[in-house]
Every structure is written in structure tokens, then in C-alpha cells.
Chains A and B, each alone.
Chain A
Amino acid sequence: MNDVAETDDRPVALVGAGVASAAGALEADLRALRYEVVPFRLDRVPDRAPASLAVLAITGALVACVRASEELRRTSEALPILWVVEPPDLGALDRHGGLFDDFVRSPYAAPELDARLRRLRRAAGEGSADMLRIGRLEMDPGSYRASVDGRPLKLTYMEYELLRFLASRPGRIHTREAILRGVWGYDYYGGMRTVDVHVRRLRAKLGQEHGRMIETVRGVGYGLTDRG
């Protein structure tokens, strides 16, 4: 039960780049977005790597990246691939459309990178493909449907995402910081107390009987249990 999920929730990103400087900056940005970064050499593509996605910096290494992407497609078919592309290489995108799932133009803004990676992970169905059932709570991430005791909950987007975050890791306690990062992303006006505000709203919507499903651990954070 009370293991505090802090680092082990991080999605893993494979990062390949032909130029060391490009790799360094990209890895730093991904770490800032709370990815666990696993660098690889373009000529040594990891086989069946347990990763959420792969990010390849095309800078100065188009040919090597094309080969690496082909290799990834062959060995890890379901792994989403994001290309980071410099303007001179944009023309090459058309020719290699099947080798990446999305791209960002370099230099990119961190929130854009964040948004595109999240979208890829969501499209890949990471942690969200299946119906979630915890106690009387049911969530269908495909349609954003949520119900308790069969009663549909009318949630806002952020309430839904918070509940999904907690429900997909039942029994674990998360710090406010981990929740804020995982649900809101790092670029948000609301700050840490936003988590408390939304937990209160969720409890109200879950109703008296089921509000206790969301557990507060004083001085630590929140978790979801099948109690209540």
C-alpha cells in the first residue's frame, strides 16, 4: 500500500541523435518533462526496448535516423516515434511519412514537445486502453465516461484526468507534486494547491458514500482505494 509513487511513474523515452549537442539538449528537456531517458546510438537500436516512446533528433543525421526508425518499426512495432526536425530537413518528412508518428520542428517550445509526447502516449493507449474498475467506480478512457454505482459522473476534463491518474494506480499514494506533474503538466497557473481543490470537487461528485475512495495521507498526498 503506502509506497509513494514518485520516480517509478515516469514514462521511459528512448532518445537517439546523431549529434552530441542535439542529444544533450533533448535529453535535458525530456528529463525536465519527467521522462526517464534511455539514450541509444543510432547504429545500435535496442531490440524490444521497454519504453513508452522513442524520440529521434534528425539534426545532421537524417540517413542514420531513417535507418534507426526502420529498425524500431521492425523490432518494436507499437512503439510511437517522434522526430525532432530542423527546418532544412522538413522536406524529407514527406518521403518518410511511415517512419514517425509525429514530429516537432526544432527549435521547439517545451510545452509543444510535452503536448505531442502526451498525445502519442495516449494514442498508443498507454495506461488507458482498458476500462478501469476500482470498487464501484468505472472509467472508460476511450469515451471519458466515468460512473460510480452505475451513476454517471459529470466531470470536468481536469477532474476526469485526476481521477484517471489515481484510478490507474490504485492503492498507491502520490505526492501533490507527482499528481500535478502527471495530470496538469508542469506549465500551469494553479500551483500545488490546485490538487487539493480538485480532490475536494471529486469527492463531492463521488458523493458521501464514495468520496472516501480518495484517501488523504497527511503530509504525503492522495491515493485511490476500493473502500467506500
Chain B
Amino acid sequence: MIEAERDFVLKQAEERDIRFVQLWFSDVLGQLKAFAIPVEELPEALSEGASFDGASIEGFSRADEADMIAMPVPRTFNSLPWRPEKAGVARMFCDILTADGEPFEGDPRRVLKRSMDRVRELGFTPYVGAELDFFLLAGPDDPTPIDSGSYFDLTPLDSANDLRRGVLIYLEALGIPVKDSHHEDAMSQHGVDLRHADALTIADSLMSFRLVVKEVARELGSYATFMPKPIEGVQGSGLHAHLSLYEGERNAFFDPTDEYYLSKVGRMFLAGLLTHAREMTAITNQWVNSYKRLVPGFEAPTHVSWGTRTRATLARVPLAKRGKESSCRVEYRAPDPGCNPYLMLAVILAAGVEGIRGELELPPEALANHIEAAAAGADVGLTPLPDTLPEALDAMRHSELVRGVLGDHLFEWFLANKVAEWAEHKRHVTALEIERYLPRL
């Protein structure tokens, strides 16, 4: 079958007048990495992969092996819609191999596939829908919203509509169907729902999505950011994962007789998410800035909790429309769009699987007033999420679950990288400190 796929890529590359093919992969922190090969090198790249210097990629470098191989996955071949029709550019996602041709343990795509295998061992296929936000700002060094204040004059009135339309067209061309696109609560903030697909496809799609949005924003002369909390005092950007497990054509989370329409499997999966929430927060929320989003008052979770209506819970079971099987799912609301989608989904699925394996009991639904009280600092029996990156790293450091999912190499590299990020941040004297302390002390 792989030979037919390669044949398809070669013939279609010619058919679509492709001159360069970008080979895409993710580094450990979820940054999209790419290098281009001329179409003449495509046959060789398809059969043997293309070598690159792993030492230049975050988290790939190891003293003993710098040479790595990017092995393109032919079924991800697609032309890039923002490049010219003539002499165009296409892309393929890649699996990363070591120089010996063995799968590289630090490859985030492989980490997710392994995690999906564990779900499959239980007889389920994981499906994921994603709902994520981003801001449209003046520039990478200027977080001024473009549809407010003085910038209102600098851009056409409907630049946000242009953006949404442009994004939809590019996404559809890349085969990423979008369910909904809307203006979010904060100024200049936008939200998009990606329709559910299998977990690997969604992770690939999220990588494409972030690039598409940045590309369209650039064409419109503005800047799109997936930074979790770019503007103080308004809502941050989240990446809510909507999860369900299917057994053949049956949604294993669905039970028409349950008050939440949630089956025993669904309850155990959700219980697994809650049990392991703290230890996987460093992966779902991986930046110092991520924790500025996880504060009370902005519909972001602060405590380990679940509910049906309250939006400040960590997990939500949206009450399925009239008990519709296909919309039955569990929504996990901690992640932000600055995460590595592969690692984020890998740890979430693993936590859910642990819940099913351990037949964990689901705690009762959290009440809205409890969540408010907990956010205000009262002890109502809810476990807080890590408050800062170092706290999240401490929780992760002792996690057998996260170590098992990431593998030793990636686990150690990630911790070291993030400890360094925090150390740098800690040394920094902020503007707020100067403002508050200088006049008083």
C-alpha cells in the first residue's frame, strides 16, 4: 500500500506542478520545523527519507547522534494553498528516524502514536475535536489588539472577517474541516472549532492550523499569536480537547440511560483525567505564561473539577443534544494553544486509559459556587491545579505516567529545558515589581 501512496505523491507532484516539497515535523516543544527539498529529490526522500542535522532541533540533539532522518508520510501530502499555483510548494508530515533507520524516541509524533496504541489495546479508537483561541495583534513585539483603539483606523473594518474567511479557505484546501469560527469574548480574540478526527490527524491539523492562521494574518498585515495570555485582564487563549472513544461505530462514552449520557467507560476515562491532571499540567500548559491564564475570573480552570454547565471546571461533560450519541464526549479544558499537540494528546489519552484500567471512580460533579469559593481561596475539597510552571514541573517529576508516555529521553530533556526557562524568568525583575516596590521600599 505504501508503494501506491508514494506513486500517488510522485504523480500528483508532477500533476500539480510542485517544485519544492516541505518536510514537516515537530520539535519537542511543538514548534513546527520544516526543510524543503526540490521535487527531483522526492523519489529518494519517499523511499529512504531525507537526512537533517538533529543537533539544531530543540530536544533532538544527543551527543552521539546528530544525523537524523525525516521519513515523509505520503498520505499527508498536500499542496500549500498560499503558495503560487504554478511552480508550487507541497508539504508532508514526517516521522523521525535515527541514522540507523530506527524510530527516534524523541519524536513527538511517535509518542502520540504509542499512546494511541495503548488505547487500541483496550479495543477503542480515540477521537478528538479541538476548540482553540488566538489573538490578532499589531505585531510580534506589540500586543495591541487590531480591532480596537487607534489600530482600528489602521486596518479595514472587516479585517477580522477577512482573516476568518482566509483561514477557512486555506484549512479546507489542506483538508482540515472547521466546524465553527467566531469572535471570542476578548478584543481581537478569535476561536475556531476543528471537527473531530482521530487523535493523530488532529495533532497534525493543529500544527497546520497554527501556521495557516499566522500566514493569513501576515497577508493582512497583522500578527496572530497563540500565546496563552498575551493581554492582562482579558480572557486568555485555551485549547479545549473534546475526547471520545469509539468501539467500531459505537461511541463507548455514550449511555442513553445515564443522567449525563456518560457510560461507565466515559466515567472511568474522565476520572483518569482528573486523577492525573496535576502531573500532566506541565505538558498541557508548558510555558511560564500558561499559568497567567489559569487564574479565576476568565473561564479558565484553576482546580481539579468537572461539571456540565460551569465553564470554569477543568473538565466538562457537555450534555449531549437530546442524548445524541455522536455528540457525547468529555471536554478537557486546561491545555492552551501554545502546547505541543502531540504530547498534550498523548498524556491526556494515557491518563484516561489509566482511569479505565484502574476502573477509577468519578467524583461528584463540582458545583458552581464551590468552584468560585475554591478560586477565592476557600477549602471546599477541590485540588488546585499547579499555580506556576515550577509547581507543575514538581508534579511531573514524580509522575510514572508522564515518564512512561514521553520516554526517558524526552522526559529528562523537557524537565531540564523547562527548569532553565523558569530560572531565567525568576531572575527577571518585572515592570510590576518596579511600579509596586520602588516607590515604597
Given A119-B4, A156-B75, A156-B76, A193 contacting B125 (CB threshold 8 A):
yes
- Does B378 have its Cβ within 8 Å of any Cβ on chain A? no
Stretch at the interface among B8-16, B217-225, B271-279, B406-414: B8-16
- Which B residues are in CB contact (< 8 Å) with A122? 4
Q: Is the CB of B198 within 8 A of A194?
A: yes
Q: Could you tell me the dominant secondary structure of chain B's interface residues?
A: helix
Q: A189 is contacted by which of B74, B79, B173, B200 (Cβ under 8 Å)?
A: B200
Contact of A204 among B9, B74, B172, B198 (CB under 8 A): B172
Q: At the interface, yes or no: A191 with Cβ under 8 Å from chain B?
A: yes
Chain A, residues 191-213, CB within 8 Å of chain B (1/0): the string is: 11110010011001100000000
Asked if B197 is at the interface of the complex by the 8 Å CB criterion, the answer is yes
Contact indicator A200/B75 (Cβ below 8 Å): no
Contact with B along A171-202 (1 / 0, CB 8 A): 00000110000000100011111100100110
Counting chain B residues whose Cβ lies within 8 A of the other chain, the interface size class is 35 or more
Say yes or no: is B390 at the interface (Cβ < 8 Å to chain A).
no
Q: Does A114 contact B (CB under 8 A)?
A: yes
Within 8 A of A (CB), among B147-188: 172-173, 175, 177
Contact of B177 among A115, A154, A158, A201 (CB under 8 A): A201
Closest CB of chain A to B437's CB: distance in Å? 54
Contact check, B77 vs A156: say whether CB atoms are below 8 A apart. Answer: yes
List chain B residues, Cβ under 8 A from A156.
75-78, 175
Contact A154 B195 (CB under 8 A): no
Whether the pair A176, B249 counts as a contact (CB closer than 8 A) is yes
Interface residues of B in 94-142 (CB under 8 A from A): 113, 116, 120, 125, 127
B198 touches A201 (CB 8 A): no
- Binary contact track B1-45/A, C-beta < 8 Å → 1, others 0: 111110111011001100000000000000000000000000000
- Does the CB pair A118–B1 fall under 8 Å? yes
Contact A189 B5 (CB under 8 A): no
Residues of A within 8 A of B16 (CB): 154
A197–B75 contact, CB under 8 A?
no
- B248 contacts A by Cβ under 8 Å: yes
Q: Is there a chain B Cβ closer than 8 Å to A71's Cβ?
A: no
B-contact bits for A83-94, CB 8 A (1 contact / 0 none): 000000000000
Q: List 13 A-B contacts (CB under 8 A).
A: A114-B1, A115-B3, A118-B4, A154-B78, A156-B76, A157-B74, A177-B249, A189-B200, A193-B196, A193-B197, A197-B197, A197-B201, A201-B177
Enumerate chain A interface residues (CB-CB to B < 8 A).
Answer: 114-115, 118-119, 122, 143-145, 152, 154, 156-160, 176-177, 185, 189-194, 197, 200-201, 204-205
Chain B residues engaging chain A, CB cutoff 8 angstroms: 1-5, 7-9, 11-12, 15-16, 74-79, 113, 116, 120, 125, 127, 172-173, 175, 177, 195-198, 200-201, 246, 248-249
- With A190-B200, A205-B172 given, name 16 new contacts (CB 8 A): A114-B1, A154-B173, A156-B76, A157-B5, A157-B77, A176-B249, A177-B248, A190-B198, A192-B248, A193-B196, A193-B198, A194-B198, A200-B177, A200-B195, A204-B177, A205-B175
